Amino acid sequence: MFDIERWQEIFDTIRKNKLRTFLTGLSVASGIFILVILLGFGQGMQNGIAKEFERDASNMIGVWTQVTTKEYKGLNPGRVIQLRDENYDFVEKLHSDKLEYKSPMYRVFNTSINYGAESGAYSIWGTSPDFQQLENAFMSYGRFLNYNDNLQKGKVVVISNKIHRELLGMIEDPIGEHIEISGLSFQIVGVYGDIGGDREEEKIYMPVNTAQAVFNGADRLNMMYFTLKPAETFEQSLVESTQFTEELKSYLKQTHTVAPDDQSAINTFNTLENVQRFYNLTNGIRLFFWFVGICTIIAGIVGVSNVMLIIVRERTKEIGIRKALGAKPISVIGLILHEAIFVTAVFGFGGLIFSMGLLEILGPMVEVDYILNPSIDFKVALTTVFILIFAGALAGFFPAWRAAKIKPIVALRDE
């Protein structure tokens, strides 16, 4: 039942001790504020890392080669290992039931591209049709490469939105236009965009067979890319991709006569392993943020408990009079608890509203590497406040219990 007299007493006590109440509440509000801001930035880190991995397929496996560093079977170190079409064809056939997307790649850097009076230097990537999914590219105009382009060594290219702006800016739809590459005319069949932005749009895609023929690549490849079909769980996907990566390295080392313990000649990357490492890191950081925030809240709660003890000490005689007049212990406990819960709740919700408002306003403006739109789930934030209120009740209970145990005769003698 609502007891207006009790609330009047609470407000009278607060009015008499404005500064003390404010400082106590401020410690509580700052605890919630710090916790919410830290959790918001923890979520921002997770968002930022997820955004980074959106640039490419999240389960992509890539392989490239360098030089040997160890003698093996009579062959000296320092040999250049070169990927070949036959390597890609073998892996594709052997693991056809496991693969979702796959693509060879032959790359040429800083190639001069001309369109009328305009020119620029861009990278040429000879790839297969699956590379659109591997790179998470979206089409702005036209289409991506298809299998007929590769079979017929078609002189077709897919340019990026960035290259479109820089070379063909006056033409709204460049499909069907021709650009000159190494003295040859290539027809534009598509314009792609990449969620990674301009830094991922410095490439021109053409069929891998065409790139090898135009740039004297013969059957050489620079890289091979693969993704596996999704498994039921992330852990299972990670195990399968790790096993596939090891089998791929083992095959290439045997084929190119590379020492099994040579870590330089055959190189691979597995984005699932990177994803796991980054998420393990962010989870660790978020746990640390929780620890720091909770410690800050505990400091505020200790402050509330100390203030309640001071209040009990100051009102000892008053409490004695109440008990002498017949006040029950539960009534005395309720009086102290109400004040502790009220102060904790008001300042706790104040800290919550201020911190969430700050994240809502400034969060979208944050532009830092690996941090994107810091935010916090409202339910999580609200739960922390209710936990704080419960902790405030505990903080007030012990001083209240002490007050309830005071004997009237002892209290009346207090000076």
Stretch among 100-104, 122-126, 276-280, 281-285 having the lowest mean pLDDT: 276-280
- Residue 115 has which token pair? 């369109």
Residue 321 identity: I
Distance of CA 41 to the CA centre of its chain: 10
Q: Are the C-beta atoms of 65 and 83 separated by less than 8 Å?
A: yes
Q: Quick check: helix, strand or coil at residue 174?
A: coil
Q: Are the C-beta atoms of 148 and 154 separated by less than 8 Å?
A: yes
Distance of CA 321 to the CA centre of its chain: 60
Sorted by sequence, the CB contacts under 8 Å of residue 247 that are 6+ apart come out as none
CA dihedral 73, 220, 92, 199 (to 10 degrees): 120
Rg (CA), the chain: 34
What is the enclosing helix (H) or strand (E) of 270? Answer: strand 266-270
Taking CA 252 as the corner, what is the angle to CA 249 and CA 256, rounded to the nearest 5 degrees?
140
Question: Quick one: which of 61, 37, 52 has its CA closest to 278?
Answer: 52
Domain positions in the chain are: 4-52+277-413, 60-269
Task: Please tell me which residue, 352 or 187, carries the higher pLDDT value.
Answer: 187
Q: Check whether 6 has a pLDDT greater than 80.
A: no
Sorted by sequence, the CB contacts under 8 Å of residue 285 that are 6+ apart come out as 42, 45
Q: Check whether 318 has a pLDDT greater than 50.
A: yes
pLDDT value, residue 370: 66
Round the average pLDDT of the chain to a whole number and report it.
Answer: 83
- Give the chain's length: 415
- Residue 110 has which token pair? 């800083």
Dihedral sign computed on CA atoms, order 369, 372, 377, 381: positive
Residue 186 identity: F
Once rounded to an integer, what is the mean pLDDT over residues 136-163? Answer: 94
Task: Please tell me which residue, 188 or 232, carries the higher pLDDT value.
Answer: 188
Residue 255 identity: T
Q: Check whether 236 has a pLDDT greater than 90.
A: no
Dihedral sign computed on CA atoms, order 297, 303, 307, 310: positive
Q: Are the C-beta atoms of 359 and 33 separated by less than 8 Å?
A: no
Distance between CA atoms of residues 19 and 200, nearest Å: 57
pLDDT in tens, 27-81: 878 888 888 888 888 878 777 766 665 554 567 899 999 999 999 998 999 999 9
> Percentage helix, strand, coil, to 5, in the chain?
55, 20, 25
Q: Check whether 214 has a pLDDT greater than 70.
A: yes
- The CB-side HSE value for 97 (13 A sphere, CA atoms) comes to 1
Q: Are the C-beta atoms of 317 and 407 separated by less than 8 Å?
A: no
Percent of the chain topping pLDDT 70: 86
Residue bearing tokens 């990670």: 238
pLDDT value, residue 237: 79
Percent of the chain topping pLDDT 90: 39
Distance between CA atoms of residues 338 and 343, nearest Å: 9
pLDDT in tens, 81-129: 999 999 999 999 999 999 999 999 999 999 999 998 899 999 999 999 9
Once rounded to an integer, what is the mean pLDDT over residues 235-261? Answer: 90
Once rounded to an integer, what is the mean pLDDT over residues 300-306? Answer: 74
pLDDT value, residue 153: 93
